[in-house]
């Protein structure tokens, strides 16, 4: 027993020491964890406090910045171009809206400007170009046709009656030279006239030694016979042969008076012809006319003597030049064109009558004028508009008065100055993107101040109020409505139009309604839907069910 006691005591003491060590380590861990938690919490607290301090400082700076904003002016709440340096109300009782520095870029003209985000400007591919002084040389283009020179067109028309004995030129289109025989004719009158002339010549020779009166009388008879033959266009060579031989020839040869082309042939061999009947038509085509049909608005630019370029479809690689010789005094009422004559040489007779021609008539410029690219103009039919770039993402519509045009540019008489940047590409896309029509519609009357206003015109708004008066004939209703936050309108009474007459059936004077409306065009507000407000609803103005609303009528 006594020997085991010491061993048991020793074993028990060792166990107790191990347990104490374990407990001490655990307590150390707990203390360390607590210290770490305390330190972490303290750090987080300092960090949070610092963030709060920074946030508060930023907020204070922002509040300070807002408080230091400079008031520029007060603008009309309906977008009218009217500003005031002091607060005031419009005729409808609405307060003018304060405009601070930075909101309107200190530019009162910004009320007419259009704002588009930079991202959309890039997507639309907007491109601008500065207006500049240039000389507007231009070319008037017109369609024309080749015609024979009327001054070089001849008709073979005998002045006596006869018969065609023989044709020397028998084909239309045949080329003939001056003096070339055309046909041989027989005429009893011609034979008789030749005999009279031959006899008169013989009589003059026989009476050359006779008294003066007899010889003179025979000489007059011979001269009269000779003049008769000349009046019938008998050539001098034929008359000389007749007077030399004294014998009348049975037939007579008619010759071409000019060199040219037979354009018409109406004679047949053996036929009888009467005095004045056209047998041949011959045209000299060494030079021709081009008659161009110039549009009415361009005729004032054409000057006599101007050099014109003529192109023919048959010869695309050739260009012919001629001079403007005449502007006709008549206008074709159907095509609204005026004929202009251009004379040009026809070497090799490449140009044929009745060919189509494209004529280019140069027009001299009147000097340097302010010009913009033609693509910059938006033509509404009644006026012309351009978009001026006023800054990044800001554009101002400007009405212009235009003058002369070239192929690529147009003269600006009024509206744009030299150096002002205008939109030359994507201007129609800006029109669609920013509701330009509303902005343009405000020239001289009103225009939206920003895109927010333009967006408000296309957006739908809601109002709650009391019906004051209904005009079924005009389709309008007078409504006293509560403030409308989307338009920044205060409580007021104003007149609305209704989209259709069926909406008037649910409206009665004194009824409280909830209405939805839009701005159909500047200043015209139209109710698109309306619901009576249930008077039993407490404090919320909840719309009554549709059945209840119709049941009250």
Q: What is the DSSP string of 342-395?
A: EEEE-GGG---TT-EEEEEEEE---SEEEEEEGGG-EE-SS-EEEEEEEETTEE
Predicted confidence at residue 38, as pLDDT, reads 40
- Which CATH number applies to 459-551? 2.40.50.320
Predicted confidence at residue 80, as pLDDT, reads 61
Q: What is the mean pLDDT of each run of 10 residues along the chain (553 residues)?
A: 41 40 41 42 40 39 52 69 79 71 54 70 80 83 93 91 92 92 90 83 76 77 83 78 73 89 93 93 93 91 90 92 94 94 92 93 80 86 83 82 83 89 77 49 42 49 89 86 86 86 81 86 82 59 40 37
Predicted confidence at residue 284, as pLDDT, reads 92
Predicted confidence at residue 110, as pLDDT, reads 58
Instruction: Please state which of the four CATH numbers 2.40.30.170, 3.40.50.410, 3.30.465.10, 3.40.50.300 is assigned to the domain occupying 287-358.
Output: 2.40.30.170
Beta bridge partners of 261: 175, 283
Beta bridge partners of 515: 463, 530
Q: What is the DSSP string of 430-496?
A: HHHHHTHHHHHTTTTS---SSHHHHHHHHSEEEEEEEEEEEETTTTEEEEEE--BTTTTB-SEEEEE
Is residue 414 a contact partner of residue 402, using CB atoms and an 8 Å limit?
no
Q: Tokens in use for 369? A: 């004028």
Tell which residue, 499, 500, 497, 491, has the closest CA to residue 463: 491
Is residue 479 a contact partner of residue 491, using CB atoms and an 8 Å limit?
no
Per the listing, tokens 């001269």 go with 223
Q: Which CATH class is domain 112-136+367-451?
A: mainly beta
β-pairing verdict for 384-391 and 394-405: antiparallel
State the helix-helix crossing angle for 236-245 and 188-206, rounded to 10 degrees. 60
Contacts of 413 (CB under 8 A, 6+ apart): 400, 401, 402, 403
């Amino acid at each position: 027993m006594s020997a085991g006691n010491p061993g048991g005591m020793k074993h028990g003491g060792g166990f107790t020491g191990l347990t104490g060590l374990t407990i001490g380590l655990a307590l150390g861990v707990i203390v360390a964890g607590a210290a770490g938690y305390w330190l972490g919490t303290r750090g987080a607290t300092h960090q949070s406090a610092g963030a709060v301090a920074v946030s508060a400082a930023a907020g204070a700076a922002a509040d300070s910045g807002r408080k230091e904003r400079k008031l520029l002016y007060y603008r009309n709440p309906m977008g009218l171009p009217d500003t005031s340096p002091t607060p005031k109300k419009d005729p409808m009782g609405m307060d003018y809206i304060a405009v601070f520095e930075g909101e309107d870029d200190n530019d009162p003209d910004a009320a007419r400007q259009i704002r588009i985000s930079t991202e959309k400007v890039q997507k639309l591919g907007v491109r601008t170009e500065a207006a500049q002084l240039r000389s507007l040389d231009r070319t008037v283009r017109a369609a024309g046709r080749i015609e024979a020179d009327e001054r070089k067109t001849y008709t073979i028309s005998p002045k006596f009656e006869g018969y065609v004995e023989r044709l020397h030129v028998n084909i239309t289109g045949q080329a003939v030279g001056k003096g070339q025989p055309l046909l041989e004719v027989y005429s009893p009158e011609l034979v008789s006239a030749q005999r009279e002339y031959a006899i008169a010549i013989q009589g003059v020779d026989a009476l050359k030694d006779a008294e003066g009166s007899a010889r003179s009388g025979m000489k007059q008879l011979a001269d009269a016979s000779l003049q008769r033959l000349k009046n019938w266009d008998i050539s001098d060579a034929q008359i000389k042969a007749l007077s030399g031989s004294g014998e009348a020839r049975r037939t007579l040869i008619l010759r071409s008076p000019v060199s040219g082309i037979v354009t018409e042939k109406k004679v047949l061999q053996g036929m009888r012809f009467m005095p004045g009947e056209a047998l041949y038509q011959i045209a000299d085509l060494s030079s021709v006319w081009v008659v161009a049909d110039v549009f009415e608005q361009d005729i004032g630019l054409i000057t006599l003597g101007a050099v014109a370029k003529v192109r023919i479809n048959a010869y695309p690689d050739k260009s012919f030049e001629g001079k403007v010789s005449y502007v006709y005094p008549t206008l074709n009422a159907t095509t609204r064109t005026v004929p202009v004559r251009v004379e040009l040489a026809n070497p090799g007779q490449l140009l044929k009558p009745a060919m189509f021609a494209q004529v280019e008539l140069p027009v001299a410029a009147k000097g340097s004028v302010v010009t913009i690219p033609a693509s910059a103009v938006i033509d509404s039919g009644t006026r012309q508009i351009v978009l001026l770039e006023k800054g990044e993402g800001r554009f101002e519509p400007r009405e212009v008065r235009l003058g002369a045009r070239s192929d690529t540019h147009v003269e600006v008489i009024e509206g744009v100055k030299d150096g002002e940047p205008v939109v030359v590409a994507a201007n129609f896309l800006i029109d669609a993107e920013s509701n330009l029509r509303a902005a343009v519609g405000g020239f001289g009357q009103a225009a939206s101040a920003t895109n927010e206003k333009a967006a408000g015109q296309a957006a739908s708004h809601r109002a709650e109020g009391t019906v004051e008066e209904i005009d079924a004939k005009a389709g309008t209703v007078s409504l006293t409505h509560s403030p409308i936050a989307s338009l920044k309108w205060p409580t007021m009474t104003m007149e609305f139009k209704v989209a259709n007459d069926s909406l008037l059936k649910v409206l009665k004077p004194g009824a409280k309604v909830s209405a939805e409306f839009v701005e159909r065009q500047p200043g015209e507000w139209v109710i698109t839907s309306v619901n009576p407000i249930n008077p039993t609803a407490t404090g919320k103005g909840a719309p009554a069910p549709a059945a209840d609303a119709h049941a009250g009528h």
